[in-house]
Structure 1
């Protein structure tokens, strides 16, 4: 057996090779992350970074949690892949823990949030074809984000994507959030579903009003159309409850999960009510759907979130972060501190979000700026008061220089 040994010995060589061989899709700083543990990442130069970005809400248990490592090792010693043509034990166990702890009855597993949302779109259109005389349109929100496949980009309400990759997949309407008149005026005989994020993450942490969501649920029931909640970013404890829809006393028809469900392992899920168990053989699938290794990862992560009540920690720590941000609010002109649990954001008077995030990176703190004047915080669910205190100290040092 021949092993190819890497000849790239230092960071400069690695970055030079990346600039030659990695397809450009985004701006990346000239650092290479090499290892992680808990709330921290380390690069190839040995520099540590306090992670308040959490891989975009992915590393729900922190970096390299022992429970996930052990689950993957044990499953690797048992069964890695059996094809989606067969059941496997962790697949059944993960489906059970998700349905036992939610209002849903059925689960389809995939690898990414885009795949889960594609599945939700297909299921809604299948429902429209069978029960709504061929209705196929789905209403989504302005500033929403549902993925990067062609259909999920079409569902997404980002203005900068409006003319990208035309022609888009037809059948989507984008309306402003918290505007009931806009929803009512958009529903026609062609509408099969309304799809929304309870809190828009990529859009800048924009929360839908509680009364709006409850009224929306009632409209869907009255009209016989489906309510789909995209919880790719808000699910699995992120907002202070296991699922964000539980804040609003509603029962959606479909929910999508990804990001935090695998704790860093690529995994997603589409959950639906029993009445939507309507796919026929060949309608939906995927080579890696329900792969045992991914199922073991998801089972370990979801079990840990539930058993350790990390949803409660997200609620408590989120309140602490907001308290600490409010303490420096007037000094630095912070505005509109918002969010639930550990999906939080705040704004600046000027468009300095990218500059602030870059300077924090230099000082060993990972933050995200989804909009020019906005900073978003999505730390792992294991974050502590001490982590937040350090984050605030570094952020304050940066703001002092701007």
Structure 2
């Protein structure tokens, strides 16, 4: 029995079965490459689901965490630290929307939970969320997550939630009333398979919420921090939201979430309204500052746009791919057949980690430091992976592409 199999057995005997059997036991990583317990290497094109912004073992992140832990690791929120204050200021500056306030937590679902509590401080309880949207697994975040399989086992869920089709302005306008506290949406839906908002939709959402006196809340947990080639996926729209939630890539693998409230929304939560033991701790905030520093110093936003375009063009070149969506290094594609699980398995066997969020969709969210050469190595293997997954070329099938 291999080391991999032994550890998988130990996992099954000791951990709750919330994720199913692990596909691999990973023991190390460097850059965009990870190594399993048997010594096999894989190109990580999922990045911990858009978390490992700087890849694995980036020296700047390792140094920031080590130095901070050696100086001051944890303090309660009766106190503050320089990294906490500096990170809040940096995030507000990157948003560039004027005054605001930040609440730090430990994850995306916690960031959304804080935002949902904040919306209650408006005196309203109704929230409009999007079909196919995903916002987390805690009870409040789950209440605004659309997928029935996630929701049903835990109903009744808190709040008064109305789901509307993503991108449908008329449906959104009909759902928002003067009793609506907030509209929550992802500028680019991630878990659904990377669905972009239609042109003008974010501006429509801003107009509709403003007219009703409701808050506009952008969940940028998966799309923020350079993932799309901009600091935030909503940047290009020019829309100013009331709430932005962040996590995933913000800490580069160190757990951290952020709830950012802009303008008057920043004063809605008062002492005693919310709290956290570990949120905003010196180590996590120092890690996030290191991530921001590297993205800026290495011009990774431009790099992400360039490598993302290379991947999208290369993936779309195969006729068995019907559509490629996304921005930067958050990429979703549709296959001609519902064989995404087979493609993902073929990729893993060949040394590539990718994701299949739906039966016909593939998602890529690699580290922002993925090189063009690494991206090309995946594109070179792509036709063969589709062949091995059993996707036909069509009526004129002549075999694998060269």
TM-score range relative to shorter protein: over 0.9
Q: Offset at 1:179?
A: 0.9
Query: 2: CA distance between counterparts of 1:362 and 1:319?
Result: 26
Query: 2: CA distance between counterparts of 1:186 and 1:242?
Result: 30
Q: Report the RMSD for the aligned CA atoms in angstroms.
A: 1.5
Question: Which residue of the partner structure matches residue 66 of structure 1?
Answer: 59
Aligned length: 386
1:367 pairs, out of 354, 373, 379, with 354
The answer to whether structure 1 residue 123 and structure 2 residue 122 are counterparts is no
Question: Which residue of the partner structure matches residue 312 of structure 2?
Answer: 322
The answer to whether structure 1 residue 200 and structure 2 residue 195 are counterparts is no
Q: Offset at 1:11?
A: 2.8
Q: Offset at 1:216?
A: 1.1
Question: Which residue of the partner structure matches residue 269 of structure 1?
Answer: 258
The answer to whether the Cα contact below 8 Å between 2:178 and 2:214 also exists between their aligned partners in 1 is no
Q: Offset at 1:9?
A: 9.5
The answer to whether the Cα contact below 8 Å between 1:359 and 1:398 also exists between their aligned partners in 2 is yes
Question: Which residue of the partner structure matches residue 390 of structure 1?
Answer: 377
Structure 1 residue ranges without an equivalent (≥5):
1-7, 130-134
Question: Which residue of the partner structure matches residue 3 of structure 1?
Answer: none
The answer to whether the Cα contact below 8 Å between 2:177 and 2:212 also exists between their aligned partners in 1 is no
The answer to whether structure 1 residue 341 and structure 2 residue 328 are counterparts is yes
Q: Offset at 1:324?
A: 1.0
Question: Which residue of the partner structure matches residue 154 of structure 1?
Answer: 143
Q: Offset at 1:30?
A: 5.0
Q: Offset at 1:29?
A: 4.1
Q: Offset at 1:158?
A: 1.3
The answer to whether the Cα contact below 8 Å between 2:2 and 2:38 also exists between their aligned partners in 1 is no
Query: 2: CA distance between counterparts of 1:197 and 1:51?
Result: 24
Query: 1: CA distance between counterparts of 2:157 and 2:48?
Result: 29
Question: Which residue of the partner structure matches residue 160 of structure 2?
Answer: 171
Instruction: Give secondary structure in 1 for the equivalent of 2:129.
Output: strand
Query: 1: CA distance between counterparts of 2:118 and 2:296?
Result: 28
Q: Deviations over 1:290-325 (max 9, x none)?
A: 111111111111221123221221111111111111
Instruction: Give secondary structure in 1 for the equivalent of 2:304.
Output: helix
Question: Which residue of the partner structure matches residue 200 of structure 2?
Answer: 211
Instruction: Give secondary structure in 1 for the equivalent of 2:355.
Output: coil
Instruction: Give secondary structure in 2 for the equivalent of 1:283.
Output: coil
Query: 1: CA distance between counterparts of 2:151 and 2:290?
Result: 39
Query: 2: CA distance between counterparts of 1:234 and 1:186?
Result: 25
The answer to whether the Cα contact below 8 Å between 2:242 and 2:263 also exists between their aligned partners in 1 is no
Structure 2 residue ranges without an equivalent (≥5):
391-402
Instruction: Give secondary structure in 2 for the equivalent of 1:210.
Output: coil
Question: Which residue of the partner structure matches residue 229 of structure 1?
Answer: 218
Q: Offset at 1:396?
A: 2.0
Question: Which residue of the partner structure matches residue 85 of structure 1?
Answer: 78
Q: Offset at 1:193?
A: 0.7
The answer to whether the Cα contact below 8 Å between 2:180 and 2:212 also exists between their aligned partners in 1 is no
Query: 2: CA distance between counterparts of 1:163 and 1:81?
Result: 38
The answer to whether the Cα contact below 8 Å between 2:118 and 2:269 also exists between their aligned partners in 1 is yes
Q: Offset at 1:209?
A: 1.1
Instruction: Give secondary structure in 1 for the equivalent of 2:153.
Output: coil
